[in-house]
């Protein structure tokens, strides 16, 4: 998958601190490469990910590291554009790590790459600021699509978690789900929008699918995020799955 178009429109971080060497900062072409850090406690998986990503000409691998303090320390020095990170347990520690990274480098995209598919972990990761949630059982193309999506400023949730949602996008919720939706004061139209967000559709695509204007969908999205207390589409998708709002 060629991700250079996404790279071309992604502002790169300034050079790291004096004395820190960062690969990929030679020619103008190299400066347009994506600088990626891989963080995972399992050395074999970390090495495999480094080999996979490092073989891509569009990517400059800046570090392979364990999770925890090493991630924050190395990201502060190397200022990667994207970090792939295992979601460490306990939940509070994982969420705190992601939140700390986003505070430290708000423009760095965070891709959670994990075995854990529990709804409460997905919700916690997205609430903390993760830009994508990918399962390690997903395919290589899923990881590359997540990378491409976050570089373009979009969110991404594993198809294993969201792919079935589109089938029920226009279906009225059953009584049990209706009660759950009512708890959040979510309208049926907003529920349709949520279902399509979970499936990865952008605002313009949702507008076309629901035969509504782009402006109307933007208003629905703003209303949804306000009602749920969330700040982006990734968080909406994760929260909707975790709360059973869209599990048809």
Instruction: Give the model confidence (pLDDT) of 221-239 as tens digits.
Output: 999 998 888 888 888 888 8
160-184: per-residue pLDDT in tens?
Answer: 775 433 333 334 444 455 555 666 7
CATH 3.40.50.2300 residue spans of the chain: 4-157
Phi-psi region of 171 (alpha: psi -120 to 50; beta: other; left: phi over 0): beta
d(CA 151, CA 147): 6
CATH 1.10.10.10 residue spans of the chain: 163-242
Cβ neighbours of residue 132 under 8 Å, at least 6 residues apart? Answer: 109, 110, 111, 112, 146, 149, 150, 155, 156, 157, 234
29-57: per-residue pLDDT in tens?
Answer: 444 688 999 988 888 888 888 888 888 88
d(CA 78, CA 7): 18
* Strand, helix or coil for residue 61: strand
99-117: per-residue pLDDT in tens?
Answer: 998 999 999 999 999 888 7
According to CATH, the topology of domain 163-242 is Arc Repressor Mutant, subunit A (1.10.10)
pTM > 0.75: no
Q: 4-157 in CATH: which number? A: 3.40.50.2300
């Amino acid at each position: 998958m060629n991700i250079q178009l996404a790279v071309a429109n992604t502002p790169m971080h300034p050079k790291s601190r004096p004395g820190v060497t960062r690969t990929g900062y030679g020619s103008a072409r190299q400066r347009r490469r994506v600088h990626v850090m891989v963080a995972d406690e399992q050395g074999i998986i970390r090495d495999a990910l480094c080999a996979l990503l490092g073989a891509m000409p569009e990517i400059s691998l800046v570090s392979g590291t364990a999770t925890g303090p090493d991630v924050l320390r190395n990201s502060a020095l190397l200022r990667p554009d994207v970090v792939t990170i295992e979601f460490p347990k306990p939940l509070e520690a994982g969420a705190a790590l992601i939140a700390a990274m986003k505070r430290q480098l708000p423009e760095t995209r965070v891709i959670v790459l994990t075995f854990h598919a529990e709804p409460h972990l997905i919700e916690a990761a997205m609430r903390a600021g993760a830009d994508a949630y990918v399962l390690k059982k997903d395919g290589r193309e899923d990881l590359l699509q997540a990378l491409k999506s976050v570089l373009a400023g979009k969110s991404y949730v594993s198809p294993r978690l969201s792919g079935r949602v589109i089938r029920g996008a226009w279906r009225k919720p059953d009584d049990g789900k209706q009660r759950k939706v009512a708890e959040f004061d979510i309208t049926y139209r907003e529920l349709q929008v949520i279902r399509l967000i979970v499936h990865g559709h952008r605002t313009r695509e949702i507008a076309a699918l629901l035969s509504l204007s782009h402006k109307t969908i933007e208003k629905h999205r703003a209303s949804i995020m306000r009602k749920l207390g969330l700040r982006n589409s990734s968080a909406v998708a994760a929260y909707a799955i975790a709360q059973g709002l869209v599990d048809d």
